[in-house]
Amino acid sequence: MTTELTPAQLGSDAGRFARLRADEYGYLDEHGHTYLDHTGAGLPSRSQLAAHAARISGDCFGNPHSDNPTSAASTELVERTRARVLRHLNADPAEYAAIFTPNATGACRLVGEAFPFRRGSRFVLPLDNHNSVNGLREFARAGRARVVHVPFTTPDLRIGDDAMAAALAGGSARAGRGAPLGRAGLLAYPAQSNFTGVRHPLEWIEAAHAHGYAVLLDAAAYLPTAALDLSEVKPDFVTVSWYKVFGYPTGVGCLVARRDALELLRRPWFSGGTIHVVSAQGGWHRMAEDESAFEDGTLNFLAVPDVATGLDHLDAIGLPAVSAHVTGLTGRLLDALRDLRHSNGAPLVRVYGPEDTDRRGGTIALNILDPDGHVVDERAVGRDSSARGISLRTGCFCNPGAGEEAFAISRRLLRGRRIGRMSGTLDDYLTRLGLPSGGAVRVSLGVPSSPEDLAVLLGFVEDTYRDRPASAAAVRLNPRLRC
């Protein structure tokens, strides 16, 4: 089902978003950029950047780990931003804490390194995860927990509720249905896939809780265009990188965590800023009792308040309007990509994932095909699109599970002993196996995206690849690792 915009929305919001593009994101057109990598990074508005400059040049802000006046000024802004983050997610501050991290990856690591994985518990994760979540399996293995992958179950790269239920139930025989939080282990999944844009069901959270799992919801690709209401759904840990949501600041993320779930975590170390009291000679320490126990070292205190500015900017546009804008453009792009044909009638593009806007965000993974259906090497597409001023993404986007499924690379091949020991890249291995491609092209949309961006992309694909054999595009490619 394609979600069509109403004429009223198209009329008023199209004009509004065009004005926003000119006023706030004018640097795109001034420099001839066609920016189609919003899942890589959102873009900052000029007013966000101006607010940052005005704030840090208008007063003096010191290291927050003190009580002096400039320190107190920093602390006040950091605490206000914490409250602003929780308000954005409609989270009760008595129930949830917002912990500042360098990025979503840092938030994942905080959970993974401190989660009580143990023999008999499980780390359940769909194959559709970013490597910053996949990597948690190493903590699970070190704790002797079992790692359980939930497979894709549909051709458009979704995961059925039955598959998730089976994976969760497998562990509950020991933990028991209704077991205490975290006893069965941890479920970690993305609210939105960074590969296909699929939005996975938030209902999995309660299903996992019922079996005694704690839940890490990776919201990094979801929050830029969708609302997460923590009064309605109750993940234990939510991970986010703010530059993905509104472009600036970089280097600031959050772990938003239920306070009772934080009590499960046992930090493997302490550091500056995380302790209540510590003795060097006595060899003992007591961790801080609030969220600062999880904030290692000095926060990026000049940038953290820009998160509040970014959220205000997003609110001023209106998240429902952002969502409708991106959904509308995504639907148009999907339809147009499907209609692109070679003169023999063969499709020019293969899309991985849903072909409409139902339960998905504005991220589209694809490959270009030649008239005989051969895949054009995505590195050639990266090279050719760059030459046209188009910023898109190629490779597997740090999501190897979705890539392996999209390219039908079987588990048997990947588990072969040779691959673990081989030298060279995954590409080298795929080439030896006779598989043509290990990478895709990703196009992703955001607030400043416009119909003109879509036209540039579509024109580029037609001009460059229509009626052209894949071998002609693939000349002079540098071999390099794709993931």
Catalytic residues: 398
In the beta sheet, which residues pair with residue 287?
A: 275
Give the shortest CB-139-to-ligand PLP separation in angstroms: 16
Give the shortest CB-205-to-ligand PLP separation in angstroms: 16
Cα 165 to chain center, whole Å?
A: 24
CA distance 135 to 105: 10
* Nearer CB in complex with ligand PLP: 189/465: 189
* Nearer CB in complex with ligand PLP: 104/148: 104
Q: Phi, psi (5° rounding) for residue 454?
A: -65, -40
Q: Does 199 bind ligand PLP (CB under 6 A)?
A: no
Give the shortest CB-195-to-ligand PLP separation in angstroms: 9
Collapsing DSSP to helix, strand or coil, 21 comes out as: helix
Nearest to 187 by CA among 230, 135, 133: 133
Q: Are strands 285-287 and 349-352 parallel, antiparallel or unpaired?
A: unpaired
Which of 34, 121, 194, 327 touches ligand PLP (CB under 6 A)? 194
Q: Contact letters (x/-) for ligand PLP, 35-54, by CB under 6 A?
A: ----x---------------
Give the shortest CB-190-to-ligand PLP separation in angstroms: 5
Beta-carbon-side half-sphere exposure of residue 46 (alpha carbons within 13 Å): 10
In the beta sheet, which residues pair with residue 237?
A: 216, 257
Query: Which one of 52-60, 103-111, 225-233, 331-339 is the stretch in contact with ligand PLP (CB under 6 A)?
Result: 103-111
**What is the DSSP-derived secondary structure letter of residue 351?**
E
Give the shortest CB-246-to-ligand PLP separation in angstroms: 13
Q: Are strands 363-368 and 440-444 parallel, antiparallel or unpaired?
A: antiparallel
Q: Cis ω on the peptide bond leading into residue 249 (within 30° of 0)?
A: yes
Nearest to 322 by CA among 30, 29, 43: 43
Instruction: Give me the torsion for CA of 268, 273, 279, 285, rounded to 10°.
Output: -40
Name residue 167's amino acid.
A
* Nearer CB in complex with ligand PLP: 190/395: 190
* Nearer CB in complex with ligand PLP: 126/212: 126
Query: Which one of 100-108, 178-186, 340-348, 421-429 is the stretch in contact with ligand PLP (CB under 6 A)?
Result: 100-108
* Nearer CB in complex with ligand PLP: 190/305: 190
Query: Which one of 87-95, 99-107, 286-294, 308-316 is the stretch in contact with ligand PLP (CB under 6 A)?
Result: 99-107
If binding means CB under 6 A, how many residues of this protein chain bind ligand PLP?
Answer: 12
**What is the end-to-end Cα distance of the chain in Å, rounded?**
32
Give the shortest CB-399-to-ligand PLP separation in angstroms: 8
CA distance 367 to 392: 12
Query: Which one of 213-221, 287-295, 313-321, 343-351 is the stretch in contact with ligand PLP (CB under 6 A)?
Result: 213-221
- Restricting to residues 104-133, name those near ligand PLP by CB under 6 A: 104-105, 130, 132
Q: Do residues 452 and 460 make contact, with C-beta atoms less than 8 angstroms apart? A: no
* Nearer CB in complex with ligand PLP: 97/221: 221
Collapsing DSSP to helix, strand or coil, 335 comes out as: helix
* Nearer CB in complex with ligand PLP: 221/454: 221
* Nearer CB in complex with ligand PLP: 130/137: 130
**What is the DSSP-derived secondary structure letter of residue 482?**
-
Q: What Cα–Cα distance (Å) separates residue 144 from each residue in 18, 128, 213?
A: 54, 23, 16
Q: Contact letters (x/-) for ligand PLP, 217-246, by CB under 6 A?
A: -x-xx-------------------x-----
- Restricting to residues 309-368, name those near ligand PLP by CB under 6 A: none
* Nearer CB in complex with ligand PLP: 303/458: 303
Place of tokens 């999501």: 399
Give the shortest CB-403-to-ligand PLP separation in angstroms: 14
Give the shortest CB-295-to-ligand PLP separation in angstroms: 16
Give the shortest CB-200-to-ligand PLP separation in angstroms: 11
CA distance 214 to 231: 17
For residues 190-229, b (16+ Cβ closer than 10 Å) or e, as one string? bbbbbbbbbbbebebbebbbebbbbbbbbbbbbbbbbebe
Q: Which helix (H) or strand (E) holds 248?
A: none
Find all residues with CB under 8 Å of 277, minimum gap 6, and list them: 285, 286
Q: Phi, psi (5° rounding) for residue 145?
A: -80, 160
- Which residues lie near ligand PLP (CB under 6 A)? 39, 103-105, 130, 132, 190, 194, 218, 220-221, 241
